[in-house]
Structure 1
Amino acid sequence: MRFSRTLTVVDCHAEGESGKVVTGGVGDVPGETMFDKRVYLENNLDQLRKLLLFEPRGAVWHNANIVLPSNNPEAALGYVILESTEYPAMSGSNTMCVATVLLETGMLPMVEPITEIVLESPAGLIKVECECKDGKVVRTRLTNQPAFVYHLQAPLEVPGLGTLTVDVAYGGMTYVIVDAEEAGVHLESKDARLMCELGQKIKKAGAEQLEVKHPINPLIPGITQTLFAGPLTPETDPDGSEIIRSRNAVIVSPGRVDRSPCGTGTSARLAVLSAKGQIKQGQTFRNESILDTTFDARIEDNVKVGPYDAVIPSISGRSWITSINTLGLDPSDPFPNGFTMGDTWMADS
Structure 2
Amino acid sequence: MSQHALNWKHAIELVEVHCQGEIGKVIVGGAPEIPGATLLDKMNHLNQVDDSLRRFVTFEPRAAVQMSVNLLLPPVHPDADAGFIVLQADRAHPMSGSNCICVVTALLESGRVAMQEPETIVRLDTPAGLITATARCQDGQCLSVSLDNVPCFVEVLDFPLQTASWGSIRADIAFGGVYYAIVDAEQLDLTIAPDNARELMEAGMALKSLLNRQIQVCHPEMPSLDEIAYVMFRGRDADGAVRTCTTLKPGRVDRSPCGTGSSANLATLFARGLIDVGGKQVSRSIIGGEFTAEVLATTEVGGRPAILPRITGRGWVYGTERLRVDDHDPFQQGFALSDTWGPLVGELQ
TM class by shorter-chain length? over 0.9
Let me know the Cα RMSD of the aligned residues: 1.5
Q: For residue 270 of structure 2, what is the amino acid of its counterpart?
A: S
1:53 maps to 58
1:263 maps to 259
Alignment of 1:199-218 (within 5 A): 199-218=204-223
Q: Contact between 1:12 and 1:21, CA under 8 Å: does it hold in 2?
A: yes
Aligned pair 1:152/2:148, yes or no? no
SS at match of 2:67: coil
Q: For residue 224 of structure 2, what is the amino acid of its counterpart?
A: L
Which deviates more from structure 2 when the two are superposed, residues 273-282 or residues 3-12? 3-12
Matched length: 340
Per the TM alignment, residue 44 of structure 1 is displaced from its structure 2 partner at its CA by: 3.7
Per the TM alignment, residue 27 of structure 1 is displaced from its structure 2 partner at its CA by: 5.0
Aligned pair 1:7/2:26, yes or no? no
Q: Aligned match of 1:190 in 195, 198, 202?
A: 195
Structure 2, unmatched stretches of 5+, are 1-5
Aligned pair 1:172/2:177, yes or no? yes
Identity %: 39
Per the TM alignment, residue 3 of structure 1 is displaced from its structure 2 partner at its CA by: 5.3
- Distance, in Å, in 1 between the alignment partners of 2:50 and 2:114 is 30
1:239 maps to none
- Distance, in Å, in 1 between the alignment partners of 2:183 and 2:230 is 11
Which deviates more from structure 2 when the two are superposed, residues 220-229 or residues 105-114? 220-229
Q: Aligned match of 1:333 in 317, 329, 335?
A: 329
SS at match of 1:102: helix
Per the TM alignment, residue 213 of structure 1 is displaced from its structure 2 partner at its CA by: 1.2
- Distance, in Å, in 1 between the alignment partners of 2:332 and 2:54 is 11
1:131 maps to 136
- Distance, in Å, in 2 between the alignment partners of 1:331 and 1:98 is 29
2:3 maps to none
Which deviates more from structure 2 when the two are superposed, residues 98-107 or residues 171-180? 171-180
TM-score of the superposed pair, with normalisation by structure 2 = 0.94
Q: Deviations over 1:178-234 (max 9, x none)?
A: 11111111110100000011111111111111221111111113112111100265x
Q: Deviations over 1:99-133 (max 9, x none)?
A: 00000000010000000121101111000000000
SS at match of 1:265: helix
Q: Contact between 1:79 and 1:121, CA under 8 Å: does it hold in 2?
A: yes
Q: Contact between 2:246 and 2:254, CA under 8 Å: does it hold in 1?
A: yes
- Distance, in Å, in 1 between the alignment partners of 2:129 and 2:260 is 14
- Distance, in Å, in 2 between the alignment partners of 1:256 and 1:58 is 14
C-alpha spacing 1:135/1:204, structure 2 compared with 1 (3 Å): same
- Distance, in Å, in 1 between the alignment partners of 2:76 and 2:161 is 42
Structure 1, unmatched stretches of 5+, are 236-243
